[in-house]
């Protein structure tokens, strides 16, 4: 799209902003009492701007001429987000405005808080705010980055049919960036209170943004904290008994309206809920109605991921992390988002994000001659590696926790050269061929070395087997 050929409008009339109107000779400046945000009805006009300010604003293009409406993107309970084209900068941006049926008195302070919080949280993974203005009724109107991509909800849905390991590896990279954004917000004294896949955008080139800070709670004051021009926890939606957010992802203290108990661990819970959905495809408090979800959130009896989707071999390590973050008592959760992120990174580094599988005593993991589709890391129990030579079972080795088997057949691209049987209850991490090749960068020099070594090992092993048979 170019500036001379933008998409058609949908008939919506953009709000009139006084200092962008051609016939406006004065620009309003909102007077706010220090430490207290004035009610919109009490806002008054200050003196006229200086000659320089007036000249600059007079030179600005009228808002309606500058921004071309391209249609609604989303509609919430109090506001809409519209796609608009900025003819000055020649780019599309997102415009957030109050719904016409919402009174200025009811919605103005909430939208203004959201704009100020978003604008002060400057982080690569938080959606940037571009500009804040007011319409003639005193209602805030702000523009922000228009993200070209999809919600994390859609991202996960599109990948649901992928192999568990690959799906989790990609999704966890997004999750870690979300953790970075939320951890930064916490350092600035802000709790999001509505973290969910729908409020996470994944850009077309891998960008990740945490969106919609309309439910955010400022819990600390200070020079390095976000400021709303009033004391923390003093807004209308910040009082005990008020419930805001999305029930399917809520911590119990939030669902019960215990606003004074909300802190960083409340967002940790919601991040655990996002991780739960990454694992299972469902939110922890999913139900047929918001009211039913709220009741589930208040009780906080979360079904373990492996029970929610029993047909999938979910990684035990990630399931444990999710359930710790989803603990009903805040004291049992991670104390910070940084701690949660550290555990997820450890799981990724150690390969614990891969699927796990348990074999009963005496069962075969695979048989000699089978095609090689995975390697295994033993986390519990023992197994025996053996061959059948001239009708006799020949035990080659016994293996236990921490040891690996099945990898050489994958690297050498050959069938299994031996059988593996569980001696007792054997729990393994299953490393698929795809995951191995991904980690070794298929086609790289490192991968070539590993494959060559695996083939030589197989050749030596085959010659030793022949020597044993000849000796008999």
100-157, pLDDT tens digit by residue?
Answer: 877 766 678 888 999 999 999 999 999 999 999 887 778 888 999 999 999 999 999 9
SS3 per-residue string spanning the chain: CECCECCCCCCCCCCCCHHHCCCCCCCCCECCCCCCCCCHHHCCECCCCCHHHHHHHHHCCCHHHHEEEEEEEEECCCEEEEEEEECCCCEEEEEEEECCCCCHHHHHHHHHHHHHHHHHCCCCCECCEEEEEECCCCCEEEEEECCCEEEHHHHHHHCCCCCHHHHHHHHHHHHHHHHHHHHHHHHCCEECCCCCHHHEEEECCCCEEECCCCCCEECCCCCCCCCCCCCCCCCHHHCCCCCCCCHHHCCHHHHCCCHHHCCHHHHHHHHHHHHHHHHHCCCCCCCCCHHHHHHHHHHCCCCCHHHHCCCCCCCHHHHHHHHHHCCCCHHHCCCCHHHHHHHHHHHHHHCCCCCEEEECCCCEEECCCCCCCEEEEEEECCEEEEEEECCEEEEEEEECCCCEECHHHHHHCCCCCCEEEECCCEEEEEEEHHHHHHHCCCCCHHHHHHHHHHHHHHHHHHHHHHHHHHHC
Q: Domains plus CATH for the chain?
A: 18-145 (3.30.200.20), 149-350 (1.10.510.10), 363-471 (2.60.120.10)
Q: Is the pLDDT of residue 48 over 80?
A: no
CA 255 vs CA 77, 331, 332: distances in Å: 18, 17, 18
Residue 30, pLDDT above cutoff 80: no
Q: Mention every residue, 6+ apart, whose C-beta is less than 8 A from residue 262.
A: 191, 193, 217, 219, 251, 253, 254
Of residues 156 and 374, the one with the higher pLDDT is 156
Kind and range of the H or E run holding 342: helix 337-350
Predicted confidence at residue 284, as pLDDT, reads 97
Give the pLDDT confidence score for residue 448 in this predicted structure: 62
pLDDT, average across residues 14-24: 43
Q: How much is the pLDDT for 294? A: 96
pLDDT at residue number 6: 53
Average pLDDT over residues 30-50: 34
Pairing of strands 426-432, 190-191: unpaired
pLDDT band at 19 (very low <50, low <70, confident <90, very high): very low
Is 194 tagged catalytic?
yes
Residue 366 has phi, psi (to 5 degrees) of -160, 165
The pLDDT > 90 percentage for the chain reads: 50
Report the share of the chain in percent with pLDDT over 70.
76
Query: So what's the pLDDT on residue 342?
Result: 97
* Residue 25: per-residue pLDDT: 31
Q: What is the pLDDT of residue 469?
A: 64
Marked catalytic residue, from 194, 263, 343, 424: 194
Q: What is the mean pLDDT of residues 311-339?
A: 94
The tens digit of pLDDT for each residue in 399-450 reads: 999 899 988 777 777 889 899 999 999 999 888 777 766 665 555 555 565 5
Tens of pLDDT, residues 271-321: 999 999 999 999 999 999 999 999 999 999 999 999 999 988 788 889 999
Tell me what the mean pLDDT of segment 148-167 comes to. 88
**Of the ranges 48-57, 151-160, 461-470, which one carries the lowest mean pLDDT score?**
48-57
Listed ranges 94-98, 225-229, 263-267; the one with the highest mean pLDDT: 263-267
Q: What is the pLDDT of residue 465?
A: 62
Q: How far is 140 from 124, CA to CA, in rounded Å?
A: 25
Q: What is the pLDDT of residue 31?
A: 30
pLDDT at 461: 60
């Amino acid at each position: 799209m170019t500036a001379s050929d933008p998409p058609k409008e949908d008939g919506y009339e953009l709000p009139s902003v006084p200092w962008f109107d051609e016939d406006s000779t004065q620009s309003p400046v909102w007077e706010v009492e220090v430490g207290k945000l004035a009610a919109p009805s009490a806002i008054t006009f200050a003196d006229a701007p200086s000659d320089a300010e007036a000249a600059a604003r007079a030179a600005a293009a009228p808002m309606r001429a500058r921004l071309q409406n391209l249609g609604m993107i989303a509609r919430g309970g109090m506001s809409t987000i519209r796609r608009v084209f900025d003819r000055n900068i020649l780019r599309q941006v997102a415009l957030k405005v109050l719904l016409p049926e919402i009174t200025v008195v009811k919605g103005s302070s909430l939208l203004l808080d959201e704009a100020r919080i978003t604008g002060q949280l400057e982080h690569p993974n938080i959606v940037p705010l571009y500009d804040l203005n007011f319409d003639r009724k005193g209602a805030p109107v702000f523009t922000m980055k228009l993200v070209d991509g999809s919600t994390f909800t859609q991202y996960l849905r599109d990948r649901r049919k992928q192999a568990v390991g690959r799906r989790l590896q990609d999704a966890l990279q997004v999750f870690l960036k979300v953790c970075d954004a939320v951890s930064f917000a916490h350092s600035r004294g802000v709790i999001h209170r509505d973290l969910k896949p729908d409020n996470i955008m994944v850009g077309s080139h891998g960008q990740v943004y945490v969106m919609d800070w309309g439910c955010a709670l400022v819990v600390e004051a200070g020079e390095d904290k976000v400021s709303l021009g009033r004391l923390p926890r003093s807004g209308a939606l910040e009082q005990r008994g008020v419930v805001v957010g999305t029930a399917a992802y809520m911590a119990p203290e939030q669902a019960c309206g215990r606003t004074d108990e909300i802190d960083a661990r409340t967002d940790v819970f919601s991040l655990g809920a996002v991780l739960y959905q990454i694992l299972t495809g469902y939110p922890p408090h999913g139900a047929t109605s918001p009211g039913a979800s709220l009741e589930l959130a208040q009780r906080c009896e979360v079904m373990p991921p492996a029970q929610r989707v029993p047909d999938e071999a979910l990684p035990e390590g990630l399931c444990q992390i999710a359930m710790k973050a989803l603990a009903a008592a805040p004291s049992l959760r991670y104390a910070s988002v940084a701690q949660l992120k550290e555990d997820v990174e450890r799981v990724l580094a150690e390969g614990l994000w891969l699927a796990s599988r348990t074999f009963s005593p005496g069962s075969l993991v695979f048989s000699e001659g089978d095609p090689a589709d995975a390697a295994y890391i033993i986390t519990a129990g023992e197994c025996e590696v053996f061959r059948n030579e001239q009708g006799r079972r020949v035990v080659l080795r016994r293996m236990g926790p921490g040891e690996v088997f099945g990898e050489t057949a994958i690297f050498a691209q050959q069938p299994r050269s031996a059988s593996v049987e569980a001696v007792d209850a054997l729990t393994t991490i299953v490393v698929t061929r795809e995951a191995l090749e991904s980690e070794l960068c298929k086609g790289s020099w490192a991968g070539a070395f590993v494959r060559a070594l695996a083939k030589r090992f197989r050749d030596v092993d085959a010659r030793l087997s022949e020597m044993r048979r000849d000796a008999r």
